[in-house]
Amino acid sequence: MSEAGFIPFGFQYYRSPTPYRDQWEEDLRNLSQMGFNCVKFWVQWRASHPAENAFVFDDIRELMDIAGRNGLKVVLNTLFDVAPAWFYKKYPDSKMITSDGTVIEPRALSYRQIGGAPGPCYHHAPGQLEKDKFLAEAVKAFRDHPALWVWDLWNEPELTAGIKRELSFDNQVCYCEHSLQAFGGWLEHKYGTLEALNYKWQRTYQDWDEIEPPRGQAVFNDMVDWRLFMSDALTDDLKCRIAVVKQLDTVHPVMVHTVPSPIFNLITAGSDDFKLAEPCDLFGNSLGSSAWSADLLISAAKGKPIINSEIHALPGNTALKPQKLSWQELKKHILIPLARGISGFLFWQYRPEVLGHEAPAWGSTYLDGSETPWLREMASLNQTIQANRNPLLCSKRPSDGIAILFSSENQIANFSVYAHLDTYTDSVQGAHKLLHDLNYKVEFIHDHDISKEELAKYKCLWMPYPLYLNKQMTDVIREWVSEGGIVLSECSFGALQAEDGTHSYQVPGYGFDEVFGIRETWIHSIENLDHSYHNVTVQSKQKIPLNSALGNDPAQGSYYKTEIELLRDVRVAATFSEDSSAAVTVADYGKGKAVWIGTLLGASYWQEEDRNTLEFLREIMEKELGLEPYVKVHGGQARADVLEWKHDGEEGAFLFVHNTTNRDTDFTVSLPFAYDGVTPWFPEGAHALAGNDVTDSIRLSLKAGDIQVFQLHEPFIR
């Protein structure tokens, strides 16, 4: 970050026109006096550029001055999805068009109250120039202000600012002439020749001008390219913004904050966290309080500093009022990401909203700006974190060497197949939850990052429902397994081939029948067509029981039951209860191992959190594969994370423990080191300690849903 030893802890404060000017001085003074150190102000294109030749930053400048007087660091968040009225009048051809021909007219939204959403098409060249011009003026206005900390150049990147976020073929953008022309150029750059494109899409185009973007459910490769093209448009727009800032301001870092999958997807939102993080100095997100979103964000950031830019602790609207924020819920919002190494926290927002449908929710204060109990608790929690700032900032969370494949192309292909993303997102989130609940550190690797060098960082790769794959990727994975890696894959591995979009004649595809030692001969879905004109949505209304060969009670699969032929001597770890056919197999391949699962195990666990499924996977991971978590939990369902640190000649560790159940739980945490003493962060934490007398483990008793932090003192004996 731009200042050593800085953990931002504060609030989103200003989204024009609220809070109103007569509240600024008192609010910013109060939050500074309570110990908070950071605020965020929106710099909105429409609000600050009301006429073509007028730039009005008086409100932002006054706020910056007040913040500076009160010792507050400022995040300036630039907003371009609120285009000025004059812009639309001058450039009527800038409006985005959906697949069904709907022109998206500018409008106000509950979260864009000043109007102008969603802004111009990303391929409208004059629109890009106008955005660059506005950003340059904003940078010149504030680059030398002493209160400025960081430029946040995009608030929750997505294609239509939420207007057409609902997942459907008709809601895709953009089908205007600007985008269609740009798509042709993007394809020509990617493929080089029409022959290569025609092979990939199975078409007969004779000219680049003939290319038609997909509009519905048909084949797969055109849809994959079409959505990757629009996702690239978001990333390219961010790169343009960063270039403008870096040209004018070489001092302050730049960042973006996103909304994690599956809330934002690659179909209608176009947001790819891994791509968006790459050009930034810092990275952040909204809704980052869950283990899923925190782990995904950290993997996308690849070691860059991270802040939770919008903690949504008090959501609501005029119809659905917010709930009061309890101490326990507040701790979860901060401590779950902190346990993973995220070290910055901004709540949405300081005052409750008073304008539009978001009123009267989201407030850390009461409507009149007075203190709430949870505001005082936020201040107390911040005080504790700042007291441990230096060791926290130099702490590390050891890896367990396990990665989940996060595939943009497989996500798009799944949508093209199912017209929804449940199979993909349930499988990926379920894989994460299974590993998380077994207390592994869960990491993700993007499909575009698969390489020999990247895979060398991991012992095990989980491939959730890998329906759509390509030869280049699978060749790398195959070599990695042969050299000692462990691949764990659900059914239909490479059934759809990226090279030409066809279904493989043999599954697993790309020669992985040799790796897994099996061949899929038939796959049964829970739902079937009774005739070709009957519309049936693939769901998972019933579970598929599996009998473990490892002595566990029956686990559960979902969506599909696969029949296989065993090609060589493999170990059958589970059978389908219905007919005792092989359901999970383990094969040796070279120096590595390959686990095949003939159903969607992750999706099943995501939907029902079946305890037997969890225990079955524990047996597979620990006994079959020899993969144990760095920190282990025994005797109760809880999560434990360790951050280890060395600072100024001292060393120690922070232990975060979370009772993830709705009942009081006793459990023991086993550590890979011995410690000399333990100190709870919070007074109630002392009651959670259960007479510990063994220095490489700690016995705890936590209330339902509670989360606690303990400092473990040196010396360490490993």
* pLDDT digits 0-9 by tens, 322-354: 999 999 999 999 999 999 999 999 999 999 999
Q: Are residues 652 and 613 in the same domain?
A: no
CA dist 375 and 328 (Å) reads 14
Residue 686 belongs to some domain of the structure:
yes
pTM: 0.96
Which of 601, 624, 647 is at the close of a domain?
Answer: 624
CA dist 226 and 439 (Å) reads 38
Q: What is the pLDDT of residues 386-410, one digit of tens each?
A: 999 999 999 999 999 999 999 999 9
N-to-C CA span, the chain: 32
Backbone dihedral angles phi then psi of residue 25, each to the nearest 5 degrees: -60, -50
Which of 583, 605, 624 is at the close of a domain?
Answer: 624
Total domain count, the chain: 3
Q: Are residues 616 and 670 in the same domain?
A: no
Backbone dihedral angles phi then psi of residue 61, each to the nearest 5 degrees: -65, -40
Could you tell me the two tokens for 350? 């300081």
Residue 85 belongs to some domain of the structure:
yes
Q: Are residues 377 and 461 in the same domain?
A: no
What is the number of other CB atoms lying within 10 angstroms of the CB of residue 7? 20
Residue 51 belongs to some domain of the structure:
yes
Q: Are residues 220 and 118 in the same domain?
A: yes
Beta bridge partners of 561: 524
Residue 130 belongs to some domain of the structure:
yes
Which of 624, 654, 685 is at the close of a domain?
Answer: 624
Assign residue 412 the CATH number of its domain.
3.40.50.880
Q: Are residues 364 and 417 in the same domain?
A: no
Amino acid at residue number 38: C
The residue whose two tokens read 């962060």 is 681
pLDDT given at position 715 = 56
Beta bridge partners of 520: 507, 564
Q: Are residues 327 and 235 in the same domain?
A: yes
- pLDDT band of 249, cuts 50, 70, 90: very high
Compute CA distances 390 → 90, 393, 433, whole Å: 52, 5, 31
pLDDT of residue 292 exceeding 90: yes
Q: Are residues 283 and 428 in the same domain?
A: no
Q: Are residues 290 and 419 in the same domain?
A: no
What is the number of other CB atoms lying within 10 angstroms of the CB of residue 184? 18
- pLDDT band of 470, cuts 50, 70, 90: very high
Give the containing element (helix H, strand E) for 224: helix 221-248
Q: What is the mean pLDDT of residues 50-67?
A: 98
Q: Are residues 381 and 495 in the same domain?
A: no
Q: What is the pLDDT of residues 503-536, one digit of tens each?
A: 999 999 999 999 999 999 999 998 765 656 566 6
Q: What is the DSSP letter of 384?
A: H
Residue 139 belongs to some domain of the structure:
yes
pLDDT of residue 286 exceeding 50: yes
Quote the mean pLDDT of the chain: 96
- State the residue range of the domain holding 560: 402-624
Q: Are residues 542 and 664 in the same domain?
A: no
Residue 411 belongs to some domain of the structure:
yes
Residue 3 belongs to some domain of the structure:
no
What proportion of the chain, given as a percentage, has pLDDT over 90? 92
Residue 201 belongs to some domain of the structure:
no
Q: Are residues 598 and 457 in the same domain?
A: yes
Cβ(412)–Cβ(266) below 8 Å: yes
In a 13 Å sphere around the CA of 437, the CA atoms on its Cβ side amount to 23
pLDDT of residue 581 exceeding 50: yes
pLDDT of residue 382 exceeding 90: yes
Among 569, 564, 555, 540, which residue's Cα sits nearest to residue 620? Answer: 555
Assign residue 681 the CATH number of its domain.
2.60.40.1180
pLDDT of residue 1 exceeding 50: no
List of residues 6+ apart from 261 with CB closer than 8 A: 271, 273, 296, 411, 425, 428
Give the containing element (helix H, strand E) for 386: helix 373-387
- pLDDT band of 2, cuts 50, 70, 90: very low
Q: Are residues 407 and 388 in the same domain?
A: no
pLDDT given at position 716 = 61
pLDDT given at position 717 = 62
Q: What is the pLDDT of residues 145-196, one digit of tens each?
A: 999 999 999 999 999 999 999 999 999 999 999 999 999 999 999 999 999 9
Assign residue 268 the CATH number of its domain.
3.20.20.80
